[in-house]
């Protein structure tokens, strides 16, 4: 991580860029990263925390193994997205923005993934699932669980 | 690369079209987001493999293109030059398409699009009703261009406009042309693009910037994404022309983080343009110098607002600030900056190539050219549509969109995103232009057009939008921060059946305060969804408040699910699918929902076979009657 941060030179204008890179690599922004960036870019830690909590892209807590993002855009809303989200919440036993206790799943919402023609839509580990029905929610979760098992074999 | 000039660009263009002539047939596969989700990449690869296997690669081109717009029917495959239109293509279909259509020159009937009304099979893309009424001057090239190939763009007269302005036009002439075309901003407010350029050009400064706003925060809109993903060079060329006219040497494209493919394609396109000397120092051998950076947004709706967007590029929180000073006076890092939307930029090369006079013939008196809308929601043909300004909402929804889905009744159409409004059936004859939409209480916005049917609750929609703006309010100014929260609270109460007499007046009063007191348009326009739904659908508000009923059967707290005993065939399907075991019954016996356990997830209604349709929703008095009946029984 230190290497990643030290590669950047310059000032505040690089901040969001660095945060993107760290988020991508670690899945969250560790506290040590903030102090390192603060030294490297010569901006205060509180300023960095301000920026990083402002944007939805960054999280201070690690996300789970699998990320499920349900679109709550208008097009998806009128086609029943709230029912889909409720089902995910119920099946996983968490609210949106939370991670399951076993660290397997994180559930998030997004304002629009830009595939509105396929609504309601959810992204599971980056893969789109369009025209979703409530009863398909269970299948998606199971698929993700199996994926884990297969890949760890 | 050695110096690349106009002569060489023209030569390259000729070479490309010459080499294309040999390979007459081209299989184009839509690579837009919708088709991606349907697995188009695998389809494209399979086509390539099969063409190679059959040794046809010298005769047939396979190209993954930008979005064709008809996302409803993906994956879409169009075979050029004839434009044979195949839809919903699966991997199994590929061998047949090659054997029958490519080699045998015959049509594969079962892959054709069937027009739902006439049941007629349609062979050619241009005859599909979805496309027929469109005028695709900006978006049309998407279907011919592989977004990763600058050659494809050049072959279609790409960078011709750039050559023209660099060597035959002064910056004043470019600005005059854009003003004369009547092009207005496509990002929301509809400011005259040429005028904005002129203001920025007239400010004296060594350093100036141009920015392309690709933040596309309007939920339900995705045309900017498709343009940037599908035809990135048209946006880049537009920006270079703008930079030349204004005197800017650096540009930024600010892309929303939810659009990774757009970032990838536009970054790649910029590199290609740089390699050819179309960006960088002495562009095409001229004196002009300009380069573009791509900036990834980080997920905040307000960052689409121009002053917030610049703060974000500067590495700060995306807080809007008071205007004036306008960006043209004091923009990015305090320097004069011109910011336009993706679609606005994409219009520029076309205007230069075809002339302001040609362009200004399209559209209405005050609104020139075309507009791309994302036609989504409860509509048969969802997708991206480009129409001349002045077309009526009815034409777009019925003729292009094929009407409301599942033969339901139309209720409203929403434009303008969270700043816009909902228009009822009576307004469908309105022609689309900036002024008419504003007068109707909505706005053009960036181009989301969401169709709602009788199953959509308008109070719920208003609550949805206010929830959105409240969530996205940056919190800098009090009216917006507190006002949106209060609006959400009242609206939520109404949808829960806790509404009170006088709530509607309260909503209207709050709306006024927000509109007058907020710092940026986010807060100023936030009440629009509430005001328009009250204006056109007040009876729905009344029903929620007075009768505690939701006529559209949406608001969970006001409805129940009920199995009609006379219809239920006792198939156990709903019982098995109920996630909370609220349904009891046996095979061939009527099933019953326990209302105390029911979480109203709708699973029973979803699985009940269409022939049976025994599950219904009830609200208001009928709901009470059923509840009374069942409680009497259990006593
Ligand atoms: C809250 C808010 C969000 C906005 N979001 C966008 C957006 O996502 N894309 C966009 O092009 N303009 C957006 N705008 C409008 C921009 O501030 C600006 O007017 C526009 O980029 C100017 O470009 P144009 O003249 O080409 O339309 C937004 C404005 C507000 C107030
Ligand atoms: S509204 Fe869900 S993808 Fe756009």
pLDDT per position as a tens digit, A49-78 = 999 999 999 999 999 999 999 999 999 999
Cis bond leading into B232, ω under 30°? Answer: no
pLDDT of residue A153: 36
The CA distance from B467 to B478, in Å, is 17
Return the number of CB contacts < 8 Å for A and B: 144
Shortest distance between the Cα of A150 and any Cα of chain B, in A, equals 22
Cis bond leading into B325, ω under 30°? Answer: yes
> CB distance B464–A54 less than 8 Å?
no
The two three-digit tokens of residue B242, written as one number: 């703008």
Shortest distance between the Cα of B313 and any Cα of chain A, in A, equals 7
What three-state secondary structure class fits B311? helix
The two three-digit tokens of residue B496, written as one number: 């829960």
The CA distance from B594 to B582, in Å, is 5
What three-state secondary structure class fits A44? coil
Burial class (CB in 10 A: 0-12, 13-18, 19+), B118: exposed
Long-range contacts of A51-56 (CB under 8 A, 24+ apart): A51/A15, A51/A16, A51/A19, A51/B315, A51/B316, A51/B317, A52/A19, A54/B300, A54/B317, A54/B318, A54/B474, A55/A16, A55/A19, A55/B298, A55/B299, A55/B300, A55/B317, A55/B318, A56/B298, A56/B299, A56/B300
Ligand 2, pocket residues at CB < 6 Å: A 71, 73-76, 112-116, 119, 121; B 219-220
The two three-digit tokens of residue B141, written as one number: 């090239």
Tell which of A72, A114, A141 to mutate to test the B interface (max B CBs under 10 Å).
A114
Identify all chain A residues contacting B372, using CB atoms and an 8 Å cutoff. Answer: none
Share of chain B above pLDDT 90, in %: 89
Q: In this structure, what DSSP letter does residue B579 have?
A: T
Name the one residue in this structure whose structure tokens are 């709708």: B602
A13 band by pLDDT with thresholds 50, 70 and 90: confident
> How big, in percent rounded to 5, are the helix, strand and coil portions of chain A?
50, 10, 35
C-alpha closest to that of B202 among B171, B162, B164, B165: B171
Q: Tell me, using a 6 A CB cutoff, whether residue B302 lines ligand 1.
A: yes
Name the one residue in this structure whose structure tokens are 């970054």: B267
Domain that holds residue A24: 2-54
Q: Are residues A81 and A146 in the same domain?
A: yes
Burial class (CB in 10 A: 0-12, 13-18, 19+), B570: middle
Q: In this structure, what DSSP letter does residue B420 have?
A: S
Residue nearest to atom 1 of ligand 2 (CA): A73
Buried b (16+ CB within 10 A) or exposed e, A66-80: bbbbbbbbbbbbbbb
Q: Which of B36, B300, B607 sits opposite A54 (nearest CB)?
A: B300
CB-side exposure of B544: number of CA atoms within 13 Å? 30
Beta strands (DSSP E) in B222-300 are: 250-255, 291-296
Nearest-atom index, ligand 2, CA of A81 = 2
CA distance readout (Å), B486 to B23, B302, B463, B510, B512: 63, 20, 11, 8, 13
The CA distance from B563 to B487, in Å, is 36
Judge whether A67 is closer than 8 Å to chain B, CB to CB: no
Identify all chain B residues contacting A121, using CB atoms and an 8 Å cutoff. Answer: 37
Cis bond leading into A120, ω under 30°? Answer: yes
The CA-based dihedral angle spanning residues B44, B48, B54, B55, taken in that order and rounded to the nearest 10 degrees = 150
C-alpha closest to that of B76 among B142, B120, B138: B142
Contact between residue B373 and residue B447 where contact means Cβ atoms under 8 Å apart: yes
In a domain, A60, yes or no: no
Is residue A116 over pLDDT 80?
yes
B-chain residue closest to A48, CA distance: B316
Give the number of domains in chain A: 2
Max CA separation in chain A (angstroms): 51
In a domain, A49, yes or no: yes
Terminal alpha carbon distance of chain A: 28
pLDDT of residue B632: 78
- Enter the ipTM: 0.93
Provide the chain A residues 36-55 that lie in CB contact (below 8 A) with chain B.
Answer: 50-51, 54-55
CA distance readout (Å), B5 to B154, B272, B496: 14, 15, 67
- A75 alpha carbon, closest ligand: 2
C-alpha closest to that of A5 among A23, A18, A24, A16: A18
Q: Tell me, using a 6 A CB cutoff, whether residue B32 lines ligand 1.
A: no
- B196 alpha carbon, closest ligand: 1
Buried b (16+ CB within 10 A) or exposed e, B460-493: bbbbbbbbbbbebbbebbebbebbbebbbebbbb
Beta bridge partners of B392: B431
Q: Are residues A78 and A146 in the same domain?
A: yes
Contact between residue B445 and residue B219 where contact means Cβ atoms under 8 Å apart: no
B-chain residue closest to A130, CA distance: B37
Q: Are residues A98 and A45 in the same domain?
A: no
Beta strands (DSSP E) in B486-558 are: none
In a domain, A61, yes or no: no
Q: Give the angle B115-B408-B567 at the CA atoms, nearest 5°.
A: 115
Q: Are residues A44 and A109 in the same domain?
A: no
Q: Are residues A47 and A71 in the same domain?
A: no
Mean pLDDT of A134-147: 92
pLDDT of residue B493: 98
Higher pLDDT, A107 or A12: A107
Name the one residue in this structure whose structure tokens are 């007269």: B157
Q: Which of A51, A80, A133 sits opposite B317 (nearest CB)?
A: A51
Q: In this structure, what DSSP letter does residue A4 have?
A: H
> CB distance A117–B298 less than 8 Å?
no
Nearest-atom index, ligand 1, CA of B216 = 8
Whole-structure pTM over 0.80, yes or no?
A: yes
Terminal alpha carbon distance of chain B: 89
Mean pLDDT of B514-521: 93
Distance B491 CA to ligand 1 centre (A): 27
The two three-digit tokens of residue B83, written as one number: 């434009």
A149 band by pLDDT with thresholds 50, 70 and 90: low
Q: Are residues A48 and A95 in the same domain?
A: no
> CB distance A12–B258 less than 8 Å?
no
Q: Are residues A144 and A124 in the same domain?
A: yes
In a domain, A15, yes or no: yes
pLDDT of residue B635: 59
Distance B190 CA to ligand 1 centre (A): 10
Tell which of A56, A74, A87, A120 to mutate to test the B interface (max B CBs under 10 Å).
A74
Cis bond leading into B75, ω under 30°? Answer: yes
Is residue A152 over pLDDT 80?
no
Identify all chain A residues contacting B34, using CB atoms and an 8 Å cutoff. Answer: 115, 117-118, 130
Mean pLDDT of chain B: 94
- A111 alpha carbon, closest ligand: 2
Q: Are residues A100 and A75 in the same domain?
A: yes
What three-state secondary structure class fits B482? helix
Q: CATH number, domain at A127?
A: 3.40.30.10
Give B213-240 pLDDT, tens digit per residue: 999 999 999 999 999 999 999 999 999 9
C-alpha closest to that of B206 among B252, B251, B249: B249
Q: Are residues A72 and A143 in the same domain?
A: yes
The CA distance from B48 to A66, in Å, is 33
Is residue B195 over pLDDT 50?
yes
The CA distance from B318 to B310, in Å, is 8
Mean pLDDT of B274-303: 95
Mean pLDDT of B260-276: 96
Higher pLDDT, B2 or B282: B282
Q: Which domains does chain B have, with CATH numbers?
A: 16-132 (3.40.30.10), 158-360 (3.40.50.11540), 370-453 (3.10.20.600), 458-546 (1.20.1440.230), 556-634 (3.30.70.20)
pLDDT of residue B3: 63
Distance B228 CA to ligand 2 centre (A): 17
Bridge-based pairing of strands A66-71 and B383-388 is unpaired
Judge whether A13 is closer than 8 Å to chain B, CB to CB: yes
Lowest mean pLDDT, pick from B68-72, B76-80, B106-110, B615-619: B68-72
CA distance readout (Å), B294 to B213, B281, B499, B504: 11, 18, 48, 45
> CB distance B37–A130 less than 8 Å?
yes
Choose the final residue of a domain: A54, A75, A92. A54
> CB distance A77–B464 less than 8 Å?
yes
Q: Tell me, using a 6 A CB cutoff, whether residue B472 lines ligand 1.
A: no
CA distance readout (Å), A63 to A36, B203, B233, B257, B530: 22, 48, 36, 18, 36
Judge whether A20 is closer than 8 Å to chain B, CB to CB: yes
Beta bridge partners of A67: A106
Give B541-552 pLDDT, tens digit per residue: 999 999 999 999
Is residue B38 over pLDDT 80?
yes
C-alpha closest to that of B138 among B339, B385, B382: B385
Give B367-404 pLDDT, tens digit per residue: 999 999 999 999 999 999 999 999 999 999 999 999 99
Distance B105 CA to ligand 2 centre (A): 39
Tell which of B258, B304, B372 to mutate to test the A interface (max A CBs under 10 Å).
B258
The CA distance from A127 to A122, in Å, is 8
Q: Are residues A74 and A144 in the same domain?
A: yes
The CA distance from B210 to B338, in Å, is 5
B57 band by pLDDT with thresholds 50, 70 and 90: confident
Max CA separation in chain B (angstroms): 92
Q: Tell me, using a 6 A CB cutoff, whether residue B221 lines ligand 1.
A: no
Choose the final residue of a domain: A11, A28, A54. A54
Helix axes B223-230, B232-246, angle to 10 degrees: 90
Is residue A97 over pLDDT 70?
yes
In a domain, A99, yes or no: yes
What three-state secondary structure class fits B393? helix
Distance A112 CA to ligand 2 centre (A): 4
- A123 alpha carbon, closest ligand: 2
What three-state secondary structure class fits A9? coil
Q: Are residues A73 and A116 in the same domain?
A: yes
Contact between residue B186 and residue B343 where contact means Cβ atoms under 8 Å apart: yes
> CB distance B220–A55 less than 8 Å?
no
The CA distance from B79 to B104, in Å, is 13
The two three-digit tokens of residue A57, written as one number: 């892209």
Residue B599 φ then ψ, to 5°:
-100, 5
Q: Are residues A49 and A80 in the same domain?
A: no
Q: Which of B222, B300, B472 sits opposite A116 (nearest CB)?
A: B222
Beta bridge partners of B209: B250, B337
Is residue B24 over pLDDT 90?
no
Is residue B248 over pLDDT 90?
yes
């Amino acid at each position: 991580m230190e290497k990643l941060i030290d590669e950047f030179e310059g000032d505040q204008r690089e901040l969001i860029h660095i945060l993107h890179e760290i988020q991508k690599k670690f899945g969250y922004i560790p506290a040590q990263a903030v102090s390192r960036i603060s030294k490297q870019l010569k901006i205060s830690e509180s300023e960095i925390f301000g920026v990083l909590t402002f944007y939805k892209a960054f999280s201070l807590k690690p996300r789970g193994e699998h990320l499920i993002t349900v679109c709550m855009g208008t097009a998806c809303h009128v086609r029943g997205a709230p029912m889909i989200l409720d089902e995910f919440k119920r099946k996983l036993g968490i609210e949106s923005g939370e991670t399951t206790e076993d660290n397997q799943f994180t559930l998030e919402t997004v304002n629009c993934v830009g595939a509105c023609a396929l609504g309601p839509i959810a992204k599971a580990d980056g893969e789109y699932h369009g025209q979703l029905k409530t009863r398909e929610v269970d299948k998606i979760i199971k698929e993700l669980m199996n994926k884990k098992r297969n890949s760890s074999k | 690369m050695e110096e690349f000039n106009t002569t060489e660009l023209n030569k390259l263009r000729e070479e490309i079209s010459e080499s294309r002539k040999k390979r007459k047939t081209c299989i184009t596969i839509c690579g837009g987001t919708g088709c991606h989700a349907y697995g188009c990449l695998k389809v494209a690869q399979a086509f390539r493999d099969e063409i190679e296997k059959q040794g046809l690669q010298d005769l047939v081109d396979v190209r993954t293109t930008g979005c064709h717009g008809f996302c409803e029917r993906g994956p879409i495959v169009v075979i050029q030059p004839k434009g044979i239109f195949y839809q919903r293509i699966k991997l199994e279909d590929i061998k047949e398409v090659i054997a029958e259509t490519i080699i045998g020159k015959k049509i594969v009937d079962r892959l054709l699009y069937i027009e739902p009304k006439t049941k007629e099979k349609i062979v050619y893309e241009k005859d599909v009703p979805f496309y027929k009424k469109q005028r695709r001057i900006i978006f049309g090239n998407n279907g011919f261009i592989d977004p990763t190939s600058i050659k494809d763009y050049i072959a279609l007269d790409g960078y011709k406009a750039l050559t023209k302005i660099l060597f035959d036009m002064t910056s004043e002439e470019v600005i005059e042309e854009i003003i004369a075309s009547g092009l207005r901003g496509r990002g929301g407010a509809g400011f005259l693009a040429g005028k904005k350029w002129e203001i920025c050009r007239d400010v004296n400064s060594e350093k100036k910037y141009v920015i392309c706003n690709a933040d596309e925060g309007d939920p339900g809109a995705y045309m900017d994404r498709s343009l940037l993903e599908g035809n990135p060079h048209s946006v880049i060329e537009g920006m270079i022309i703008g930079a030349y006219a204004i005197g800017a040497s650096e540009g930024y494209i600010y892309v929303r983080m939810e659009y990774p493919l757009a970032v990838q394609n536009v970054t790649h396109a910029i590199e290609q343009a740089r390699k050819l000397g179309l960006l960088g120092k002495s562009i095409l051998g001229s004196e002009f110098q300009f380069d573009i950076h791509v900036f990834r947004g980080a997920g905040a709706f307000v960052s689409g607002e121009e002053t917030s967007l610049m703060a974000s590029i500067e590495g700060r929180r995306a807080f809007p600030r008071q205007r004036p000073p306008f960006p043209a006076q004091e923009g990015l890092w305090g320097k004069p900056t011109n910011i336009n939307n993706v679609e606005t930029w994409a219009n520029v090369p076309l205007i230069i190539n075809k002339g302001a006079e040609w362009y200004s013939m399209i559209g209405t008196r005050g609104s020139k050219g075309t507009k791309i809308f994302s036609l989504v929601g409860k509509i048969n043909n969802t997708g991206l549509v480009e129409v001349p300004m002045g077309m009526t909402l009815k034409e777009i929804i019925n003729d292009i969109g094929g009407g409301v889905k599942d033969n339901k009744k139309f209720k409203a159409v929403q434009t303008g995103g969270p700043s816009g409004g909902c228009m009822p059936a009576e307004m469908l004859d309105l022609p689309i232009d900036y002024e008419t939409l504003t007068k109707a209480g909505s706005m053009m916005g960036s181009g989301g057009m969401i169709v709602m049917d009788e199953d959509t609750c308008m109070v719920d929609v208003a609550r949805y939008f206010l929830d959105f703006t409240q969530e996205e309010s940056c919190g800098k100014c009090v009216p917006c921060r507190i006002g949106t929260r209060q609006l959400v609270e009242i609206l939520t109460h109404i949808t829960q059946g806790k509404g009170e007499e006088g709530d509607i007046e309260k909503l209207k009063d709050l709306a006024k305060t927000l509109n007058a007191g907020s710092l940026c348009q986010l807060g100023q326009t936030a009440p629009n969804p509430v005001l328009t739904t009250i204006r056109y659908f007040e009876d729905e508000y009344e029903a929620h408040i007075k009768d505690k009923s939701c006529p559209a059967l949406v608001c969970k707290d006001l409805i129940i699910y009920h199995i009609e005993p006379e219809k239920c065939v006792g198939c156990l399907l709903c019982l098995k699918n109920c996630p909370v075991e609220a349904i009891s019954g046996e095979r061939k016996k009527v099933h019953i929902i326990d209302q105390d356990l029911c979480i109203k997830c709708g699973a029973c209604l979803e699985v009940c076979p269409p022939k049976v349709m025994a599950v219904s929703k009830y609200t208001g008095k009928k709901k009470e009657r059923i509840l009374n009946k069942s409680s009497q029984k259990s006593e």
